[in-house]
Amino acid sequence: MDFTSKLDKALELLESAKQSMQNGDYGDCAILVQSAVSNAIRALEIKSGVFKSGEMLFEKFSAFTDNSEIINAARVIDDFFSPLLYPVGFDPATSEPDISAGKAQMAIKYGEILLKFVESKIFRNNSNNDDEQM
């Protein structure tokens, strides 16, 4: 799969997350945001040829920036699903997410920040490549 397919999928998943939020499916919303961000960072990895090992999103984003806002946004998304922490989303006694409307809104907000970052990196790289070819 090429980077544009991954980025398109990320944008589609973020829109689905927003729809889940409107429908009151807050757990699904958070899961879709995490999936969108994972697809977005994978698109950037494919485009740049830089692959960061590890499963945590903040580690992957730190390969592309030292901007604390971006890295912290990725940490927030990670915290929804960290099996060691479960500080935000999951009740450790169940496998079901216990996500409030506020937490779902926070996930969307940070997901949007992260997708905008990825798009800016990809499109900036595309414009640099276009400039080099001229």
Residue among 80, 82, 67 nearest 108 (CA): 80
Q: Quick: pLDDT tens for 26-59.
A: 989 999 999 999 999 999 999 998 887 777 899 9
Answer for the pair 97, 31: CB distance below 8 angstroms, yes or no: yes
Residue 89 has pLDDT above 90, yes or no: no
Output the domain CATH number for residue 57: 1.20.120.330
For residue 131, the model assigns a pLDDT of 39
- Phi and psi angles of residue 85, each rounded to the nearest 5 degrees, phi first: -105, -50
Give the pTM: 0.82
Domain containing 52: what range? 3-133
Residue type, position 17, single letter = A
Domain count, the chain: 1
Q: What average pLDDT does range 5-26 have in this prediction?
A: 96
Question: Residue written as tokens 């912290």?
Answer: 72
